[in-house]
Amino acid sequence: MREMVVRKMEMKDTQKVYQLSRESFSEPWALAAIEKEMTNPVASYFVAEMDGEVIGFGGMWHVLDEGEIINIAVQKSYHRQGIGKLILNQLIAEARKRELVAIHLEVRASNEAAKRLYLKHGFNSIARRKGYYHNPTEDAVIMTCELK
């Protein structure tokens, strides 16, 4: 049986997270930016690991009493297997542990799978940012989940 865990991201994970970021996003973060996030006092990052291999990650910033999901990515060969859901659940649990009152995020308007996942977890669409994403240019849907 394969072993799946979601755990706090560590510095040793940054290279794989960088690779996943490059596969998943049209404008991925630089490796140095990912490494810097590991020492960011307002950031919480988690990785999903299958049999010891990092296959997904997610990050959130927590400022005052609110959280902002920065990114969630899953290796393409593991899409539609509930990995993104596990990462999102971990981020929500972290927000509750920190007693945050809400979590916000932006998602590409065309990313129907992600929007469905967020809606199932209590997020609501509250606004749209025109032309927020580049490469290709696309609107962002702003979503919020009230925790209290």
Q: What is the pLDDT of residues 33-48, one digit of tens each?
A: 999 999 999 999 999 9
The verdict on whether 66 is a catalytic residue reads: no
The one catalytic residue in 37, 45, 94, 118 is: 118
- Chain centroid to Cα 111, Å, comes to 14
Confirm whether 68 is a catalytic residue. no
Catalytic residue among 37, 49, 94, 106: 106
**How much is the pTM?**
0.92
Per-residue pLDDT tens for 82-128?
A: 999 999 999 999 999 999 999 999 999 999 999 999 999 999 999 99
Plot region of 55 (φ>0 → left; ψ -120 to 50 → alpha; else → beta): alpha
For the chain, list the domains and their CATH numbers: 4-146 (3.40.630.30)
